Structure 1
């Protein structure tokens, strides 16, 4: 039976106790924009581009504090070593498919050169996951026009989730996955701050929701037993907190740690990366380390919910070679959560997910 995509909170599934921002998205961090371009021919191509664009970067601000954490380096994250070395982000962050990374990086270079006509050195930052299970990845359909469109159409609204942009052809934990996002509001040192996250999910393991296992083989009777060719996860963390690059590295680590909450296997072929940045210029006095525990907790909760949203918002997709990746069945998930005592018996009824 067909089901409509729902965000986890629409179904009554709540992660953690911190409040979310107004949109429960990475765009709750002021001046962080997201844009997608989706390439989907309904047959062999299911791919695209997702761009996270800090509005502050541009005239008068060439860099923001940033860090990269490599959980497992089986991937192609163009530009990461300079971010790690200098502790700054100098470009929008673009996500796409593995074999389209290099064209996307060249396209992003075009954007950066146009933004700064006199510059002679630029560091485009482009990450990927392998969507070759559902998309004909060797065709490399992503063009410069797609990348520039994703960057230029980026907005501060609620980003689309699921099978969109760089998540159009991805899978995770035995189900169709895609893009997911979430946010948290926390108080640190007497001030309110926002943490927002966005994920591109494409990794293996046993899905776990609120601590309850959700095996694909049990929830989907026609489960595709063929293991996808690539298993990775890209995570972007944005915040407005006054933290430096070293502290952002600590936030990025927690982002990768959060994958374990949803059952990630962290396998040999899983390229798991987190990029963290702050929209606050380099602070003269960063937050004391002893006071950033709320930011750690916010990252963990927000990434967990982003990963779940990437699954709950995806739809069943038939791709290259007739492969089918089924969406996570909401009703069965809710039933198991109710049985396990993690949700009340009327969970999901407000969204029409009755059982």
Structure 2
């Protein structure tokens, strides 16, 4: 997804970051989630783990690939439930915020309104290898021996700065391990899995997750989000201008030159990509899931993205509710789904969880060196000071 222009920027930013006076601090800091910094977007409470796995049945598996000095990538797998997704399909929909990317299987998801495989995230030039490996993994199941068509779903972002992406290092074994080791509970975030080599707002990006649980009066549903962040823009955190205060943001050099100053890093245009996966146990049709997916762009925008020309912004939403499951050979669908008038709280929860998942992907990411480059983790000590200046403080003990 992140294209040549974004790759050039990341190369220049990575070189400049090595020389930053606060680089040692960023490397040595303990990484924390957004809520540890007092950043808790919205009004609804998170689930037990504040993760996509708070949605009952959803599991996540990740494999991180670090080989020598060049390979910095991986695979993240999201499984909607513990059964065979081909036999027991979940309604799903994909929204494209900006389509500069590859999302294998997305057209059939939107045509039929359902998932029939887990979801994989990886690097741009590995999507087809990952898709092929998951197809083998699915077709090898005992109850799949007569299957002759399969719509695997694989999303990607371009980690070609820190990772030797042309080597296409993701293997079938890595894909199988991500799928086979998927679990519920806490989800590892930051520079792991498909987020191992990604960059966000000029800092190290990665995998982030969050969730929201609605009050019983609003249905009591859970909405969970997982993101693979690899995009740019002007970072803001709960409205605080963190990107400007840290002196690293899109179009920085052009703005400085307009003001008569010769400063700033590469003329970043905010290019990059993000994959957002939204899960919920609310019984939603694929039509309303498409509406949920579209709201994710609001959460993305709150963090400072403007969905640049070179950004691939894809959102996939699915429902795990038993009442909307679809047997692959069912002659008729008889579902009990949430009405339109009950959707607003789900929309709100989705926007909040997307925003927080993106912050978590950045705050939890560690400094990574690879492929001749180094991308620093965002310096949380400086972020704390900026947030405090804008009235945002961590919770007291």
**What TM-score, normalized by structure 1, do the two folds share?**
0.92
Structure 1: distance between partners of 2:86 and 2:197: 37
Instruction: For 1:251-330, list aligned pairs within 5 A.
Output: 251-281=292-322, 282=324, 284-321=335-372, 323-330=373-380
Instruction: Determine which structure has more spread, i.e. the larger CA radius of gyration.
Output: 2
Report the count of equivalent residues: 345
Does residue 97 of structure 1 match 2:123? yes
Q: CA 1:175/1:190 → structure 2, altered by over 3 Å: closer, same or farther? A: closer
Q: Secondary structure at the match of 1:286?
A: coil
Residue 118 of structure 1 and its aligned partner are, at CA, apart by 1.6
With 211-220 and 325-334 compared, the bigger mean Cα shift is at 211-220
Q: Which residue of 1 aligns with 2:382?
A: 332
Are the counterparts in 1 of residues 204 and 375 from structure 2 also a CA contact under 8 Å? yes
Deviations 1:129-168 (A, max 9, x none): 0000111100101011100110010000211000000000
Structure 2: how far apart are the matches of 1:56 and 1:192? 22
Distance 1:70 1:60, change over 3 A: closer
- Check conservation: 1:219, 1:329, Cα contact below 8 A: no
Which 4+ stretches in 1 moved above 6 angstroms? none
1:118 corresponds to which of 146, 150, 172: 146
1:306-351 alpha-carbon deviations (Å, 9 max, x no partner): 0000000001112212x221111111111111111233xxx3776x
Instruction: Provide the TM-score with structure 2 as the length reference.
Output: 0.83
Name the structure 2 match of 1:180: 208
User: Which residue in 2 is equivalent to 1:106?
Assistant: 132
Written as runs of structure 1 = structure 2, the 5 A alignment for 1:1-355 is 1=25, 2-41=28-67, 43-58=69-84, 61-115=87-141, 116-187=144-215, 191-215=219-243, 218=246, 225=266, 231-281=272-322, 282=324, 284-321=335-372, 323-343=373-393, 347=394
Cα distance in structure 2, aligned partners of 1:108 and 1:91:
8
Summarize deviations over 1:258-297 as a string: whole Å, max 9, x none: 1100001311110000000000142623211111111000
Q: CA deviation at 1:106?
A: 0.2
Is 1:27–1:157's contact at 8 Å kept on the other side of the alignment?
yes
Tell me: CA distance 1:331–1:303, structure 2 relative to 1, closer, same or farther (3 Å).
same
Shift of 1:224: 6.5
Greater shift in the superposed pair: 312-321 or 79-88: 312-321
Q: Specify whether residues 229 and 39 from structure 1 end up closer, same or farther in structure 2 by C-alpha distance, changes over 3 A only.
A: farther
5+ residue gaps, structure 2, are 1-24, 249-263, 325-333
Q: Which moved more, 1:2-11 or 1:85-94?
A: 2-11
* TM-fit CA distance, 1:5: 1.1
Q: Distance in 1 between matches of 2:187 and 2:132?
A: 25
What is the alpha-carbon distance in structure 1 between the residues aligned to residue 246 and residue 174 of structure 2?
38
Taking the aligned partners of 1:340 and 1:208, their CA distance within structure 2 comes to 11
Residue 125 to residue 35, structure 1, CA distance change in 2 (3 Å): same
Q: What SS does the corresponding residue of 1:212 show, helix, strand or coil?
A: coil
User: Aligned to 1:70, what secondary structure does the other structure show?
Assistant: strand
